[in-house]
Amino acid sequence: MRFAIAVMAAGVVQIVPYLEANVPAILAVAYLCFAAMGAGFFAGRRGWLAGGLSVVVGAALAGIVSEIRSVGPTDVVDYLTAETGLLLVIAPYAFLGALAGALGSWLRSRALATR
């Protein structure tokens, strides 16, 4: 349960850089990695998976929100095509999210070891 909450919370937070047009690219990537690191930290085990999934969930949620905000009628096929394209494009960022999640998991283990 903690894993799912960590992934969903980080995914919801990651909507912000996707929907803001004036966010610089390096700041957006840093934002995604920091949120993925938080997902890995709070997930407990399998932090790398939590970090990668948080980026995927964030991109999917941002795609849903942007489709809802768009003007004009869309059918289900157009929507699924846009979502699939978006999820394929963010694959390198999901890899960075997995690395950041692994770092977050490592930081958690170090913090708990010193207790």
pTM of full prediction above 0.75: yes
The pLDDT, as a whole number, for residue 16 is 86
* 94 against 88, higher pLDDT: 94
pLDDT for the residue numbered 21? 80
What CA–CA distance (Å, rounded) separates 19 from 61? 10
How many domains, in total, are found in the chain? 1
32-86 pLDDT, tens digit each? 999 999 999 999 889 999 999 999 999 888 888 887 777 665 677 777 777 777 7
46 within 8 A of 2, measured Cβ to Cβ: no
Please, what is the Cα angle at 54 between 82 and 22, to 5 degrees?
65
Full residue range of the structural domain in which residue 19 is found? 2-113
Q: Break the chain down into helix, strand, coil percent, rounded to 5.
A: 85, 0, 15
Q: What is 78-101 written as a DSSP string?
A: HHHHHHHHHHHHTHHHHHHHHHHH
How far apart, in whole angstroms, are the C-alpha atoms of residue 108 and residue 86? 31
